[in-house]
Chain A
Amino acid sequence: MESTALLQKLTAGMAFRGNPATLLSSSSASSHFARVQASAWPIMQGSRLRRLNVEATDLNANAFGTMPHSSTGLKIITKAVAVKTERGSTATAQQGHELLLFEALREGLDEEMERDPTVCVIGEDVGHYGGSYKVTKGMAEKYGDLRLLDTPIAENSFTGMAIGAAMSGLRPIVEGMNMGFLLLAFNQIANNCGMLHYTSGGQFTIPIVIRGPGGVGRQLGAEHSQRLESYFQSVPGLQMVACSTPYNAKGLMKAAIRSENPVILFEHVLLYNLKERIPDEEYVLCLEEAELVRPGEDITILTYSRMRHHVLQAVKTLVSKGYDPEVIDIRSLKPFDLFTIGNSVKKTHKVLIVEECMRTGGIGASLRAAIMENFFDELDAPIGCLSSQDVPTPYAGPLEDLTVVQPPQIVFAVEQLCKH
Chain B
Amino acid sequence: MGWPRSIVGALQRLNQRGLAERGDLFLSISREYTLQRSVPGERHGYILRSFGANAYRSEAQERKSSIPVEIPVPYQLHKLSEGPPQHTQTTQDELMKYYRDMALIRRMEITADILFKSQQIRGFCHLYDGQEAVAVGLVEALTDDDSIITAYRDHGLYLARGGTLFECFSELMGKRTGCSGGKGGSMHLYNVKKRFYGGWGIVGTSAPLGAGLSFAHKYLNKKSVAVAIYGDGAANQGQIYEAKNLAALWDLPLILLVENNHFGMGTAEWRASKQITFYDRVHYIPGLKIDGMDVFAVREAICYAKEHCMSGKGPIVVECDTYRYHGHSMSDPGSTYRTHDEIKGIRQERDPINHVRKLILKEGFATADDLKSMDKEIRKEVEEAAAKAKEAPQPAKDALFAHIYKNDAALQFHGFVR
The docked-state distance in angstroms from the alpha carbon of A9 to that of B242 is 42
A187 and B211 in contact, given A170-B219, A197-B405, A236-B404 (Cβ under 8 angstroms): no
- Evaluate contact between A164 and B215: CB separation under 8 angstroms: yes
A161 and B405 in contact, given A168-B147, A200-B190 (Cβ under 8 angstroms): no
Least Cβ distance of A275 to chain B in Å?
Answer: 33
- Evaluate contact between A200 and B212: CB separation under 8 angstroms: no
Q: Which of A160-180 contact B (CB under 8 A)?
A: 160-170
- Evaluate contact between A165 and B213: CB separation under 8 angstroms: yes
A416 within 8 A of B: no
Which of B199, B200, B243, B407 meets A161, CB within 8 Å?
B243
A239 within 8 A of B: yes
B411 within 8 A of A: yes
Q: Which of A64-72, A107-115, A150-158, A215-223 contacts B (4 or more CB under 8 A)?
A: A150-158
- Evaluate contact between B412 and A338: CB separation under 8 angstroms: yes
Interface string of B185-205 (1 = CB under 8 A from A): 100101110000111111001
A169: chain B residues at CB < 8 Å are 216, 220
A335: chain B residues at CB < 8 Å are 411-414
Which of A118, A120, A168, A192 meets B217, CB within 8 Å?
A168
A191 and B216 in contact, given A237-B405, A288-B411, A338-B414 (Cβ under 8 angstroms): no
B127 within 8 A of A: no
A303 within 8 A of B: no
Q: Which of B5-13, B135-143, B173-181 contacts A (4 or more CB under 8 A)?
A: B173-181
A205 and B414 in contact, given A163-B209, A200-B180 (Cβ under 8 angstroms): no
Least Cβ distance of A39 to chain B in Å?
Answer: 39
A202 and B181 in contact, given A165-B216, A167-B197 (Cβ under 8 angstroms): yes
Q: Which of B149, B182, B411 has the most CB of A within 10 A?
A: B411
Least Cβ distance of A147 to chain B in Å?
Answer: 8
- Evaluate contact between A157 and B207: CB separation under 8 angstroms: yes
- Evaluate contact between A197 and B216: CB separation under 8 angstroms: no
B405: chain A residues at CB < 8 Å are 197, 237, 239, 260-261
Interface string of B74-86 (1 = CB under 8 A from A): 0000000000000
Interface string of B380-418 (1 = CB under 8 A from A): 000000000000000000000011111100111111010
The docked-state distance in angstroms from the alpha carbon of A192 to that of B208 is 11
Chain B count of residues within 8 A CB distance of the other chain: 56
The docked-state distance in angstroms from the alpha carbon of A261 to that of B239 is 24
Which of A154, A336, A373 meets B246, CB within 8 Å?
A154
A201 within 8 A of B: yes
B249 within 8 A of A: yes
Kindly report which residue of chain B lies nearest to residue A161, judged by CB atoms: B212
The docked-state distance in angstroms from the alpha carbon of A373 to that of B215 is 45
The docked-state distance in angstroms from the alpha carbon of A60 to that of B259 is 62
B238 within 8 A of A: yes
- Evaluate contact between B412 and A288: CB separation under 8 angstroms: yes
A57 within 8 A of B: no
A129 within 8 A of B: no
The docked-state distance in angstroms from the alpha carbon of A296 to that of B406 is 35
Which of B249, B403, B406, B414 meets A152, CB within 8 Å?
B249
B402: chain A residues at CB < 8 Å are 202
A160 and B205 in contact, given A170-B219, A203-B180, A237-B404 (Cβ under 8 angstroms): yes
The docked-state distance in angstroms from the alpha carbon of A335 to that of B416 is 11
- Evaluate contact between A156 and B242: CB separation under 8 angstroms: yes
Which of B147, B210, B403 meets A201, CB within 8 Å?
B403
Q: Which of A163, A337, A366 has the most CB of B within 10 A?
A: A163
Which of B212, B249, B403 meets A197, CB within 8 Å?
B403
A204 within 8 A of B: yes
Which of B403, B413, B417 meets A198, CB within 8 Å?
B403
A370 within 8 A of B: yes
Which of A161, A239, A373 meets B211, CB within 8 Å?
A161
Least Cβ distance of B374 to chain A in Å?
Answer: 32
- Evaluate contact between B245 and A154: CB separation under 8 angstroms: yes
B184 within 8 A of A: yes
- Evaluate contact between B184 and A201: CB separation under 8 angstroms: yes
A168 and B246 in contact, given A199-B183, A201-B403 (Cβ under 8 angstroms): no
Which of A166, A201, A260 meets B179, CB within 8 Å?
A201
- Evaluate contact between A165 and B215: CB separation under 8 angstroms: yes
Interface string of B241-261 (1 = CB under 8 A from A): 011011001100000000000
Q: Which of B182, B200, B215, B415 has the most CB of A within 10 A?
A: B215
A2 within 8 A of B: yes
Kindly report which residue of chain A lies nearest to residue B243, judged by CB atoms: A157
Kindly report which residue of chain A lies nearest to residue B208, judged by CB atoms: A160
B178: chain A residues at CB < 8 Å are 201
- Evaluate contact between A166 and B246: CB separation under 8 angstroms: no
- Evaluate contact between A158 and B208: CB separation under 8 angstroms: yes
Q: Which of A118, A154, A198, A237 has the most CB of B within 10 A?
A: A198
Q: Which of A298-348 contact B (CB under 8 A)?
A: 335-339
B215: chain A residues at CB < 8 Å are 161, 164-165, 170
- Evaluate contact between B406 and A197: CB separation under 8 angstroms: yes
The docked-state distance in angstroms from the alpha carbon of A166 to that of B213 is 8
- Evaluate contact between B242 and A199: CB separation under 8 angstroms: no
B406: chain A residues at CB < 8 Å are 197, 202, 205, 260-261
A199: chain B residues at CB < 8 Å are 180, 183-185, 188, 199
- Evaluate contact between B180 and A201: CB separation under 8 angstroms: yes
A49 within 8 A of B: no
Kindly report which residue of chain B lies nearest to residue A335, judged by CB atoms: B413
The docked-state distance in angstroms from the alpha carbon of A158 to that of B249 is 12
A146 within 8 A of B: yes
B417: chain A residues at CB < 8 Å are 338, 374
A236: chain B residues at CB < 8 Å are 404
A188 within 8 A of B: yes
A198: chain B residues at CB < 8 Å are 183, 403-404
Kindly report which residue of chain B lies nearest to residue A195, judged by CB atoms: B188
The docked-state distance in angstroms from the alpha carbon of A157 to that of B201 is 16
B404: chain A residues at CB < 8 Å are 197-198, 236-237
- Evaluate contact between A203 and B414: CB separation under 8 angstroms: no
A192 and B209 in contact, given A156-B242, A200-B180, A203-B192 (Cβ under 8 angstroms): yes
B180: chain A residues at CB < 8 Å are 199-201, 203
- Evaluate contact between A191 and B239: CB separation under 8 angstroms: no
Q: Which of B207, B218, B239, B404 has the most CB of A within 10 A?
A: B239
Q: With A163-B208, A164-B215, A197-B403 given, can you name 12 additional A-B contacts, CB distance below 8 Å?
A: A154-B239, A158-B208, A160-B243, A163-B212, A169-B216, A200-B180, A201-B178, A203-B179, A204-B192, A338-B412, A370-B414, A373-B415
Could you give 30 example pairs across A and B, Cβ below 8 Å?
A: A1-B407, A154-B242, A157-B239, A157-B242, A157-B245, A157-B246, A161-B209, A161-B211, A161-B212, A164-B197, A164-B208, A164-B213, A165-B212, A165-B213, A165-B215, A165-B216, A165-B219, A167-B209, A168-B217, A169-B220, A170-B219, A187-B202, A187-B205, A199-B180, A200-B190, A201-B183, A260-B406, A261-B406, A338-B412, A366-B414
